[in-house]
Structure 1
Amino acid sequence: MIQGKYINQDKSIFEDAVSLMQLNKNILLKGPTGSGKTRLAESLSQHMNIPMHQVNCSVDLDAESLLGYKTVYTNDSGHQEIIFIEGPVIKAMKEGQILYIDEINMAKPETLPILNGVLDYRRQLTNPFTGEVIKAEKGFNVIAAINEGYIGTLPMNEALKNRFVVIEVDYISGTVLEEVIQQQSQLNDLTLIQKIVKFNEDLRTMTRQGQISEEAASIRALIDLSDLATVMPIDRAIKRTIIDKLEDDREQQAILNAVELNF
């Protein structure tokens, strides 16, 4: 098994994602932060042996961030000319590779329609900066990730969402989570790993009950926690990786209570 491969007790998630890519369908990975959406995209890239170009969305995302930009280039003879530096969308299309759009609902709705032709049957784009018509090469695939209901996110435009097939990605747990911690962290104390998994189950229960935010139970935080537990006491590791990220005193106290119960 390759280092960092996406693992989930629901094997249909990875299997269906591979099938969708083979059918050249756009995939929308939907799930809470830290649930492994980017890891899944990276694993698909490795499994299909197709390089991946990533776009990280924010309110500042613009056409240049997606497509590229013009700049002045000075050649060896000192002559200057204006050239176009291709962005991730155009690179992925021309090279027949994967385009990964992370947190797609963080982008302003008016920015993304430029991708409509890329995401439908045409797989085509007219570069507004150069006038070049770009037709995606074979192998081009689009994977996007969405965190719904988070601060800074916006409802996803229905016309855009309709261009994707959705795969729900939830947090992992139990023996699968044990395996992930063993593979992706430096911790190899199985007894402590099992305690961390049980601790995470309590965090997940508290997130479902609305006592703490979902970020506190992310797999990403658990990997960091497990790494830190190799060099410091577990309570300090939890403080550094989870508790100190929270601003709500009640959330912090709820996690401290869970620490006392589990460790």
Structure 2
Amino acid sequence: MPGSEVRPYYVPVGNEEHVFKAAFRQGLSVVLKGPTGCGKTRFVEAMAYDLKRPLITVACHDDLSTADLVGRFLLRGGDTEWVDGPLTRAVREGAICYLDEVVEARQDTTVVLHPLTDHRRQLPIERLGVTLDAAPGFCLVVSYNPGYQSVLKDLKDSTRQRMVAIELGFPAADVEEKIVAVEAGIDHDVAAQLVRVGQAIRRLENVGLREVASTRVLIAAGRLIGAGLSPREAARAAIVGPLTDDATVTAGLVELMDAYLADTSSPD
């Protein structure tokens, strides 16, 4: 991102950087599809840095309204004044606007994106009676997890077909080991143990997990190990706990952790 001296750490798993930059040059919007914790947000941060564009991120939720994105009139000091929302700021500034987990927002909210995601590249602001042309450098990026979302929470076809899709997944084991080691600041051999645990969980079927172990939770476990916890303690706190509340599933995962991880503390 502009103003940042160091590129956000991101290791590509395919041609996603090439596709994103091509879409950006052509003024196309991008939808990132992938499991929770696979690096979608970090990827966008790295692309903003490479393209020298400011990044405005919005964490979407089911109460997110059009006004939350576009803006609203607020009373300040007895006067009513218009305050731009994050999407409007990005349109005016030529920034990358990243809507994380966009399907969590109400569908009537996402419709406002349509004029920005086709050849018009415009944002109508009905409250002001104006239509803004996107400044050079503006790019709309949205993300969601297609494996987690239900039929009732999915991108409308009319929205989906306005965007270039980039599918992200968990990296290959050797790449993920490097990521965990660097991000957690731990020895590569310990990172390799955690990645083997993560892969074992991802291979499980019909065990009652809505989500599998992400790269994010493996990094969290690694950081706990770096703080002095044993690998098993760290894995139970950072991997097992966040994945399930079910006692039976928990017991099964703990047994798996014990089989893969040594019960020794990380050296200071």
TM-score, normalization: structure 2? Answer: 0.89
- Residue 221 of structure 2 corresponds to 225
1:52-91 aligned at under 5 Å gives the runs 52-74=55-77, 80-91=78-89
- Residue 13 of structure 2 corresponds to 9
What SS is found at the alignment partner of 2:12? coil
Aligned residues with identical type, % of pairs: 24
What SS is found at the alignment partner of 2:108? coil
- Residue 107 of structure 1 corresponds to 105
- The answer to whether 1:193 aligns with 2:196 is no
Cα distance between partner residues in 1 of 2:165 and 2:206: 25
- Residue 77 of structure 1 corresponds to none
What SS is found at the alignment partner of 1:179? helix
Q: Specify which of 211, 235, 240 is matched with residue 238 of structure 1.
A: 235
Inter-CA distance 194–105: structure 2 relative to 1 (3 Å threshold)? same
Inter-CA distance 113–221: structure 2 relative to 1 (3 Å threshold)? same
- Residue 265 of structure 2 corresponds to none
What SS is found at the alignment partner of 2:143? strand
- The answer to whether 1:24 aligns with 2:27 is yes
Deviation at 1:68, TM superposition (A): 1.4
| Post-superposition CA distance 1:16-61 (Å, at most 9, x none) | 1111111111111001111111111111111111011112211101
Q: Specify which of 187, 209, 213 is matched with residue 213 of structure 1.
A: 209
Give the CA RMSD over aligned residues: 1.8
Deviation at 1:144, TM superposition (A): 0.6
Cα distance between partner residues in 2 of 1:164 and 1:54: 18
Assess if the C-alpha contact under 8 Å between 1:120 and 1:163 holds in 2: yes
| Post-superposition CA distance 1:197-249 (Å, at most 9, x none) | 2222212212xx23353634111111111000112111111111121221123
Segments of 5+ residues of structure 2 without an aligned counterpart are: 262-268
Assess if the C-alpha contact under 8 Å between 1:117 and 1:123 holds in 2: yes
Name the aligned partner's letter for residue 184 of structure 1.
E
Cα distance between partner residues in 2 of 1:135 and 1:248: 51
- Residue 51 of structure 2 corresponds to 48
- Residue 266 of structure 2 corresponds to none
Name the aligned partner's letter for residue 11 of structure 2.
I
Q: Specify which of 94, 102, 120 is matched with residue 122 of structure 1.
A: 120
Name the aligned partner's letter for residue 36 of structure 2.
T
Name the aligned partner's letter for residue 89 of structure 2.
K
Cα distance between partner residues in 2 of 1:47 and 1:183: 20
Assess if the C-alpha contact under 8 Å between 1:45 and 1:51 holds in 2: yes
Q: How many residues align?
A: 254
TM-score, normalization: structure 1? Answer: 0.90
Of 13-22 and 29-38, deviating more is 13-22
| Post-superposition CA distance 1:145-186 (Å, at most 9, x none) | 011242676021110111111111001132211211122113
Assess if the C-alpha contact under 8 Å between 2:181 and 2:222 holds in 1: no
Name the aligned partner's letter for residue 177 of structure 2.
E
Assess if the C-alpha contact under 8 Å between 2:40 and 2:143 holds in 1: yes
Cα distance between partner residues in 1 of 2:203 and 2:122: 45
Deviation at 1:4, TM superposition (A): 3.5
Segments of 5+ residues of structure 1 without an aligned counterpart are: 75-79
- Residue 145 of structure 2 corresponds to 147
